[in-house]
Amino acid sequence: MKQVSLALTVILAGLAITVVSCDADKPHAPAAKTGTTATAPMSDGALLSAVGSPGQADNDEGVSQYKQGHMDVATDRFQKALKSDPKSAEAQYNLGLSFDKMGKHDEATAAFKQAVVLAPENPAIKDSPILKKHLGT
């Protein structure tokens, strides 16, 4: 059962990346690096986890919920991802995005600050206009 779940996660992550990369109407940002694994920003700015991250399934489900506008569910998933992988800059950044959409700007600012601490060289995070707005940079 664990193998089926892992295989499904890998397939869904690959499908999500394929769908995003096939969207010809939107400009594509280059993959950003956190550690040794590249992550691609989603069209709405949410980031998929690095492959193999302990919180990958929760983060990526959170991205799906975020894209559907279910911010409460997305926030819950990003927080679960962070419990599994406290060093996930992607989940931390996505948590900030969700808080921002919910109007929880103090929480969003705190999440964005932590995302920058976790991945200061990740351009998908550090160059994000919404992050810069919150951090005043």
Domain boundaries, the chain: 2-135
pTM for the whole thing? 0.69
Residue 135 is predicted with a pLDDT of: 92
Q: Count Cα neighbours of 26 within 13 Å in the Cβ-side half-sphere.
A: 13
Q: How far is CA 93 from CA 24, 76, 97, 118, 130, in A?
A: 25, 14, 6, 10, 10
Residue 36 is predicted with a pLDDT of: 34
Count of H-run helices and E-run strands, the chain: 7, 2
* Tens place of pLDDT per residue across the chain (137 aa): 555 454 445 454 444 444 444 433 333 333 333 333 334 443 358 999 989 999 999 999 999 999 999 999 999 999 999 999 999 999 999 999 999 999 999 999 999 999 999 999 999 999 999 999 999 98
For β-strands 37-39 and 32-34, DSSP reports them as: antiparallel
Can you identify the CATH homologous superfamily of domain 2-135? Tetratricopeptide repeat domain (1.25.40.10)
Residue 25 is predicted with a pLDDT of: 37
Amino acid identity of 51?
V
